Amino acid sequence: MTDEPGKDLAPRQPPAPQPPAPPVDPEQLRQFQEFQRFQEFQRYQEATGQAPQAPKQPGGKRWWLLVLGSGIFWRALFFLLVVFSAVWAYNHFFGVDDPGDIAQDSGGVTGAAQGLSAPAGLQGTVGMFYKHVSFADTTRACTLFLRDDTRQKFANAYGASDCAGAVNDLKTKVTSVDRYQQVMFPPDMLKTPTTTKVTIDSCALTVEGGPRLGTFVVEKVGAGWVITDWSPSTCG
C-alpha cells in the first residue's frame, strides 16, 4: 500500500524528557542492604539446615528471683522448719543427755553412772535426777547412782522393790513437769566446790510441782559428778 500522492506524512514527535531520579537517602540504602544480607542469611540457613538462633533477651531474671518463685524451694523450706521445730521440742521436753560410763582416775571404780563436768556438774547431777523423775525416765535417773546399794536404799525409802519402781511411783506425785524439772539452788551451792565430795539437801533447794527427793552425796569421779550416797531428808 502506497501513500496517497500530494499528502505529507505527519512528522514524529521526539520523546518527552524523563524527570531526573531523586537522590538516594543513605539511611534507606543502608537498611535495604541489611535486608538483602538478612535474606541471603535465611537462604543459607534453609540450604544448610541450620535453625536460626533465638536472640538473647536483655535483662534476664536473677537466679534468686527464680528460686523464690519455685514451689519446690518453699516446700523444702517448710520441711526444714518442721524438722527443726520437732528437734527443738524434743530437746526441750526430753533432754539430750545420754547415760555413759565414767571411770575413776585411779581405775578402781567403773559403772554406768553419769554426771556433768565440774564445776557445775554437782548441781547438774541433782538437777538431772529431778528432771528424769519428772519424765519417769527410770534408766537415766537410776544410772546417776554409782552403786547398786545406793539405788536399793533409795528404793526402800519409797517402799519400792527397786530404783525404777521408786521413780515410777514418784512420777505419779509430780503435778507440773515444767516446774519440777527447774530446781533452783541457793547461791552458796552455785560456787565452785573446794572438795570432791559435796552433800546437797533437797530441803535447801527450791522445788515446785512435785516432792522433794532427799539428801544426795555427790562426788567427783573422773571428769564428772555422780551420786555416791543418798538418804531421806526431813522435808521429804
Distance CA 190, CA 187 (A): 5
DSSP run (H or E) holding 155: helix 148-157
Distance CA 166, CA 144 (A): 14
Is 196 a domain residue? Answer: yes
Distance CA 78, CA 86 (A): 12
Is 205 a domain residue? Answer: yes
Domain that holds residue 208: 125-231
Is 138 a domain residue? Answer: yes
- What the block records as the C-alpha cell of 155 is 528404793
Is 67 a domain residue? Answer: no
Q: Which of 43-47, 104-108, 113-117, 169-173 has the lowest mean pLDDT?
A: 104-108
What pTM value is reported for the model? 0.52
Is 173 a domain residue? Answer: yes
- Domains contained in the chain, number: 1
* pLDDT tens sequence across 142-201: 999 999 999 999 999 999 999 999 999 999 999 999 999 888 888 888 777 788 888 999
